[in-house]
Amino acid sequence: MTSRLPDSLAFLPFDLIFRVDGERRYPLELDPHFPLAIHAFEFPVIKTGVPLSWHERLELFCPVAGAGEFRIGESLVPFAAGDILVVDNLRLHAIWKFSGRQRRAVVVTFEPRLVAGFAALPCDHGFLSIFHAVRRGASPRLPAAAVRASGGRTALVRLIEQAMTAASRGVSQSRIKLLLLELLDSLGTLLPPAPPSPVLPQVDRLVPLLRWLEQNYSRKISVAEGARIVGMSEARFMRRFRQATGSTFVEYLNQIRLREAYRLLCESSLPVGEIAEQCGFCDQSYFDRRFKACFGIPPRELRRRIGSDKSATVSC
């Protein structure tokens, strides 16, 4: 069985996916009866990261040319062609760096309910074991050699081939789902076993809070207020929030604020101090430290580079 991608696979410019909504999500429209999408993208050179975002779908990021770094929560994960990165649905994430003569990737994204929805059996949740394992601290990077040895590369190619020709050849959705399950099963052998549980659907309880944070990040927000919004005790809320997002509540809120500060530095002429205050930072020196720790460059230096060379960053 070949592990070569189809020659007819068309790679679309990645800027098509920058159509984020007001909550900084990628609002990809999926068939409600079959919530799965497979896209092949051609990327620009990315040197300093793109704004972090989130979505309610699970995702496999599969680079096929080039190398770089992918940010998931607080972690920077290196990747190269042939690797597969496991991205869960609620963690803030973005491609941080991408270089090479060609920069291409296939993205497989789907809603958890396609695999293990309401009233699913424990064995169904086993297909999502790679996402459970990553939530419990396993590395989200599956190296190319291991992916090939597990049969994951071949399973990915078969899934792409069948999805590409589904309409013209009459391939059923059942067949495509089976191939997705084969891919997930193959990849599941590469990470430590994670107890099957319905935790992924349960964390969707946090989605209304994440949407609320995207609209209210500039105000003072306490852990107690977050817990009240989702109807949990503070202790349970903090535990569930970290399990779902990979960050503490305060870290996650700061990531949103820093992402918005980055965008305003790119797109506006507002003074840096005013941007910090508008994004919820009352202490300028604290903002400067957190911004540099996140992006590797002080906010004023980023503003200076933008002014001297508009091509120094990817458009926010």
Kindly report, residue by residue over 236-267, the tens digit of the pLDDT.
Answer: 999 888 877 878 999 999 989 998 898 899 88
Kindly report, residue by residue over 60-74, the tens digit of the pLDDT.
Answer: 999 999 999 998 877
On the CB side of 299, how many CA atoms lie within 13 Å of its CA? 25
Note the pLDDT of residue 3. Answer: 67
Lowest mean pLDDT among 45-54, 102-111, 177-186: 45-54
pLDDT band at 314 (very low <50, low <70, confident <90, very high): very low
**DSSP-assigned beta bridge partners for residue 204:** none
Instruction: Determine which helix (DSSP H) or strand (DSSP E) holds 163, and give its type and residue range.
Output: helix 152-164
Q: Is residue 91 a contact partner of residue 55, using CB atoms and an 8 Å limit?
A: no
On the CB side of 20, how many CA atoms lie within 13 Å of its CA? 17
Tokens standing for residue 27: 């609002």
Task: State the virtual CA torsion across 74, 79, 83, 88 in degrees, nearest 10.
Answer: 20
How far is the CA of 226 from the CAs of 67, 216, 217, 229, 243, in angstroms?
38, 11, 12, 5, 15
User: What sign for the dihedral angle of Cα 187, 189, 192, 194?
Assistant: positive
pTM: 0.76
Q: Is residue 187 a contact partner of residue 152, using CB atoms and an 8 Å limit?
A: yes
Tokens standing for residue 205: 């309880």
**Scanning the structure block, which residue is given the tokens 């090479």?**
100
pLDDT band at 1 (very low <50, low <70, confident <90, very high): very low
Note the pLDDT of residue 108. Answer: 96
Note the pLDDT of residue 26. Answer: 58
d(CA 82, CA 4): 11
Kindly report, residue by residue over 261-310, the tens digit of the pLDDT.
Answer: 988 998 888 999 999 999 999 899 999 999 988 888 899 998 888 775 44
Q: Is residue 66 a contact partner of residue 100, using CB atoms and an 8 Å limit?
A: yes
Note the pLDDT of residue 56. Answer: 79
Residue 311 clears pLDDT 50, i.e. is over it: no
How far is the CA of 157 from the CAs of 63, 153, 154, 186, 316, in angstroms?
13, 6, 5, 13, 32
The three-class DSSP label of residue 234 is helix
Kindly report, residue by residue over 27-39, the tens digit of the pLDDT.
Answer: 677 888 899 999 9
For the chain, domains (ranges, CATH) are 12-188 (2.60.120.10), 217-312 (1.10.10.60)
The three-class DSSP label of residue 290 is helix
Tokens standing for residue 43: 């990327």
Kindly report, residue by residue over 222-233, the tens digit of the pLDDT.
Answer: 999 999 999 999
Residue 5 clears pLDDT 90, i.e. is over it: no
Across the range 148-177, mean pLDDT stands at: 88
DSSP H helical segments within 234-314, as ranges? Answer: 234-245, 249-267, 272-278, 284-295, 299-308
Residue 16 clears pLDDT 50, i.e. is over it: no
d(CA 93, CA 105): 16
Kindly report, residue by residue over 198-221, the tens digit of the pLDDT.
Answer: 555 556 678 889 889 988 999 999
Kindly report, residue by residue over 75-125, the tens digit of the pLDDT.
Answer: 899 999 999 999 977 788 889 999 999 999 999 999 988 998 766 777 888
